[in-house]
């Protein structure tokens, strides 16, 4: 007997990032705040940028999380308060561990002709035992890539089909990008202890028999041994998973914490102290933290 499994379709919402880049936000979601430790998911593009000024996010702080940037098309530049300056290119991941506090900026690389931009930016909530560690930054120029059933699969985090991603995370976590140019049909082995979700980035796919349009997030719950994903033409999805978080996390602006006092302190420190260091070389203003007044109205 297999126990019944969940499928829950979740709406994503369109918003603007930084100085006006249109993005689709899938997490946090009204109906679901996390999938494993994945607690934030923005999808930008695919789009054509006429000017690199369309993607600029000035220096801003983070605590309690790892930022995970997955580049599909285009090039962006990361700078942080540890002194890292790193170009992120297609097929690569930047992983920034905020821990007790870091600040960074992100901007498109200068272009002289229109450039395709396509990326996913995610946050991973750090467990309580790791969230006060010193900050760190890692660039992963290469990840495991293989073909299964016509899908080109890039293993972002965790393990699949005997491969292991080098990306260093702190809780049992899974992430993969699956894309196909034409018809594809793959059945992936899942970890029954993990909950999973699929976000369709491009095209249409059928997951567990459900037809999903681009922009749909399908939550899949725990208890699955495998998952069938089918496409009849060009499509791209993100499959995310992990052990359900057993601690409540509080997200506010760019902070992941446990209570309002920590957020209030971090906000005050960003606006009034040097706790988050300095991002050198970014030509533009640092972001100002919003007022925490509304925070106390939220649970
Ligand atoms: Mn950031």
**C-alpha 31 to ligand 1 mean position (Å):** 24
Higher pLDDT, 138 or 295: 138
Percentage of the chain exceeding pLDDT 90: 89
**C-alpha 67 to ligand 1 mean position (Å):** 7
**C-alpha 33 to ligand 1 mean position (Å):** 18
Counts for the chain of helices (H) and strands (E), in that order: 1, 24
**C-alpha 228 to ligand 1 mean position (Å):** 33
Q: Where are the domains of the chain?
A: 8-242
Cα–Cα distance, 216 to 11 (Å, whole number): 6
**C-alpha 227 to ligand 1 mean position (Å):** 32
Judged by average pLDDT, the poorest of 101-105, 142-146, 166-170, 285-289 is: 285-289
**C-alpha 57 to ligand 1 mean position (Å):** 8
- In residues, how long is the chain? 299
Nearest 10 degrees: Cα torsion 132, 137, 142, 145: 30
**C-alpha 61 to ligand 1 mean position (Å):** 7
Judged by average pLDDT, the poorest of 11-15, 116-120, 133-137, 203-207 is: 11-15
DSSP per residue, 125-142: EPPTTTTTSPPEEEEES-
Q: b/e for 49-65, b at 16 or more Cβ within 10 A?
A: beebebbbbbbbbbbbb
Is the pLDDT reported for residue 67 higher than 50?
A: yes
Distances (CA, A) of 56 to 21, 82, 93, 111, 166: 8, 20, 18, 13, 28
**C-alpha 60 to ligand 1 mean position (Å):** 6
What are the φ/ψ torsions at residue 261 (nearest 5 degrees)?
A: -65, -40
Contact 25, 12 (CB under 8 A): yes
What's the chain's average pLDDT? Answer: 95
pLDDT given for residue 295 in this prediction: 76
What is the mean pLDDT of the segment spanning 191-215?
Answer: 97
Architecture in CATH for domain 8-242? Sandwich (2.60)
Is the pLDDT reported for residue 239 higher than 60?
A: yes
Model confidence at 211, pLDDT cuts 50, 70, 90, reads very high
**C-alpha 148 to ligand 1 mean position (Å):** 33
The model's pTM: 0.96
Cα–Cα distance, 168 to 182 (Å, whole number): 32
């Amino acid at each position: 007997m297999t126990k019944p499994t969940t499928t829950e379709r979740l709406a994503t919402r369109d918003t603007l990032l930084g100085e006006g880049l249109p993005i689709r936000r899938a997490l946090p979601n009204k109906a679901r705040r996390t999938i494993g430790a994945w607690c934030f998911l923005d999808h930008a593009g695919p789009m054509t940028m006429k000017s690199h000024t369309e993607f600029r996010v000035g220096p801003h702080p983070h605590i309690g999380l790892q930022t995970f940037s997955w580049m599909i098309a285009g090039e962006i530049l990361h700078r942080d308060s540890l002194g890292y300056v790193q170009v992120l290119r297609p097929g690569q991941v930047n992983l920034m561990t905020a821990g007790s506090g870091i600040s960074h900026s992100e901007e498109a690389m200068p272009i002289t002709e229109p450039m395709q931009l396509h990326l996913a930016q995610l946050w991973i909530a750090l467990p309580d035992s790791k969230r006060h560690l010193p900050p760190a930054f890692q660039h992963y120029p290469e990840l495991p890539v293989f073909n299964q059933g016509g899908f080109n699969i890039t293993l972002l985090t965790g393990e699949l089909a005997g491969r292991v991603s080098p990306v260093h995370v702190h809780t049992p976590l899974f992430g993969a990008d699956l894309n196909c140019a034409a018809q594809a049909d793959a059945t992936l082995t899942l970890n029954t202890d993990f909950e999973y979700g699929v976000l369709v980035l491009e095209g249409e796919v059928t997951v567990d028999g459900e037809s999903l349009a681009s922009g749909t997030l399908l939550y899949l719950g725990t208890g699955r041994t495998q998952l069938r994903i089918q496409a009849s033409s060009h499509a791209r999805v993100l499959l995310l998973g992990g052990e359900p978080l057993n601690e409540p996390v509080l997200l506010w602006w760019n902070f992941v914490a446990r209570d309002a006092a920590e957020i209030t302190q971090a906000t005050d420190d960003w606006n009034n102290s040097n706790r988050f260091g300095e991002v050198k070389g970014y030509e533009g203003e640092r972001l100002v933290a919003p007022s925490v007044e509304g925070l106390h109205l939220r649970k």
